[in-house]
């Protein structure tokens, strides 16, 4: 990003991209919920050349025990790239990049999950990238969000994610590998569509303020489209056909979940006094 030179014409004379897309066009996305038998919730997602599977377990007893939080569930997201997912074999196991992505995804979900309902537990979210073509953190976050809903984890809303950036002086949506490698900027965004809150924002490269605003609005608009695809995947799986029904049940969960924060804190204080 930002420096590598290429002879590839990433934007042609008609303003179209390397793969024929317009600057504000997403790659094709397909999401399927509930694809794994053993997990509490799961999802499979194809997004252009990306293929990601997400599996959710929990809330379950938190291990290692020292990670337990007496007031809330901890969200442990684990992003992993398969060795065969990239053109050069990726060395198996955790590396700095996957640890960073796991951390930011855990933090994004901590903002939407009602963690205070499940003290001392862990909600484990596994994301396996089977094939990578740039934008895998957005793809993993989007898939994992559907898997969490499939697991029945109470949340304020789904998280939807998409990147936008700058390629050969043009602001473009949803960069693919060549654009990511030879472009000037890439900015992954994750939002809570119902409220517009930002739960993930990173940037690789440079943008002026004006370019940043344009990139933000492109990515935000795309997140709302992806939100519809996520809900659609859940609707197809659970046979709900009416969009209003889905929105109603999302609203009902959000309103009916009691705020047990105070209750949990009092229980914790009592316990401290006793010991």
The distance of closest approach from Cβ of residue 143 to ligand CDP in the complex, given in angstroms and rounded to an integer, is: 13
CB of 1 to ligand CDP, least distance (A): 7
Following DSSP, what letter does each residue of 183-220 receive, concatenated? SSEEEEEEEETTTTEEEEE--EE---HHHHHHHHHHHH
CB nearer to ligand CDP: give 41 or 135: 135
Dist CA 178 CA 1 (whole Å): 10
Sign of torsion, CA 236 242 243 249?
negative
188/190 with CB nearer ligand CDP: 188
Compute the least distance from the CB of residue 148 to ligand CDP, in Å.
19
Q: Which residues contact ligand CDP (rule: CB under 6 A)?
A: 86-87, 90, 97, 132-137, 177, 180, 188
Nearer to ligand CDP, 34 or 102 (CB): 102
| Structure tokens that stand for 151 in this block | 């697991």
Q: Which is nearer to ligand CDP, 60 or 97 (CB)?
A: 97
CB of 127 to ligand CDP, least distance (A): 11
Nearest to 117 by CA among 142, 143, 152: 152
Least CB distance to ligand CDP at residue 69 (A):
28
In three-state secondary structure terms, 102 is helix
Tokens representing 138 are 């957005």
Q: Which is nearer to ligand CDP, 56 or 163 (CB)?
A: 163
């Amino acid at each position: 990003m930002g420096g590598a030179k290429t002879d590839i014409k990433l934007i042609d004379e008609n303003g179209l991209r390397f793969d024929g897309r317009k600057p504000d066009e997403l790659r094709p996305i397909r999401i399927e919920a509930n694809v794994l038998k053993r997990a509490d919730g799961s999802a499979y997602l194809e997004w252009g050349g990306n293929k990601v599977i997400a599996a959710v377990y929990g809330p379950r007893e938190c291990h290692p025990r020292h990670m337990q939080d007496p007031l809330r569930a901890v969200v442990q997201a684990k992003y992993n790239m398969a060795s065969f997912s990239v053109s050069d074999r990726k060395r198996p196991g955790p590396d700095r990049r996957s640890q960073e992505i796991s951390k930011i995804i855990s933090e994004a979900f901590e903002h939407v999950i009602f963690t205070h309902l499940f003290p001392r537990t862990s909600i484990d979210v596994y994301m396996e990238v089977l094939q990578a073509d740039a934008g895998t953190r957005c793809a993993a976050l989007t898939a994992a969000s559907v898997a969490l809903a499939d697991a029945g984890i109470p949340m304020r809303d789904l998280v939807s994610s998409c990147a936008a950036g700058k390629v050969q002086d043009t602001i473009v949506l949803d960069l693919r590998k060549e654009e990511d490698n030879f472009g000037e900027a890439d900015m992954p965004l994750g939002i809570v569509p119902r409220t517009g809150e930002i739960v993930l924002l990173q940037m690789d490269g440079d943008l002026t303020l004006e370019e940043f605003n344009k990139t933000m609005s492109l990515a935000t608009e795309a997140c709302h489209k992806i939100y519809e695809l996520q809900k659609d995947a859940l609707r197809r799986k659970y046979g709900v056909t009416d969009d209003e029904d889905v929105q109603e049940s999302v609203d009902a969960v959000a309103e009916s979940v009691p705020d047990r924060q105070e209750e949990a804190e009092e229980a914790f204080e009592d316990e401290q006094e006793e010991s």
